[in-house]
Amino acid sequence: MSCCSHVLSDDDKLTELPCCGRVMHSTCAFKLVGDAVWSGESAICQSCFEPLWGKPQTSSPEFNGDDDANLIVKKFKKSLTTFEKYARTQKLIFKDLVIPHIEAIKQFQRDTRAIILATDEYKELRRDYRNLIKMMKELKIKYDIPTYTISRHYNLHGMYLTPLDRIRRFLRIKA
């Protein structure tokens, strides 16, 4: 990188380099360092060859480790491998034992849902829910207000849960 080769005058803004005291235009000094920063290289004074800005260290210094630390890490990795192998085996056993029970629970949920869907209470709720949604849409259009304002006015918390969503919520299993 070249240093300032322009003639210095009294009106120019000048910068004195910290390494050797050389004076140059401030814009030229900023350009010298800025170009080095931009390119990721080091900025060096052209007079005394001292570094003005050094390239940042991106890699850590060489670390070979400690013999005791290496033994601890090797032992940990070996026990981790052994543990994961054992845990995978136990997971397969667990799945084989649990899957029939999970399927039985899911079937019981389906059966219960079918019983609820066949009731007169569910059919009445579904009909009333459709009427409510229809009425809300009409009020929204008639008064030009958002649906949530209407639902808040009538204190209809959770009104957007359809009857089927309510059944799913009632029959969900929390572990």
Answer whether 0.95 is exceeded by the pTM.
Answer: no
Minimum mean pLDDT among 41-55, 104-118, 131-145: which range? 41-55
Distance separating alpha carbons of residues 33 and 54, to the nearest angstrom: 10
Q: Phi-psi bin for 164: left (phi > 0), alpha (psi -120 to 50), beta? A: alpha
What does the pLDDT look like over 43-94, one tens digit per residue?
888 778 788 777 666 666 666 667 788 888 889 999 999 999 999 999 999 9
Residues paired with residue 142 on neighbouring β-strands, in sequence order: none
**Closest by CA position to 53, among listed 72, 38, 75, 68:** 38
Highest mean pLDDT among 58-72, 99-113, 160-174: 99-113
Domain boundaries, the chain: 1-59, 66-102, 109-175
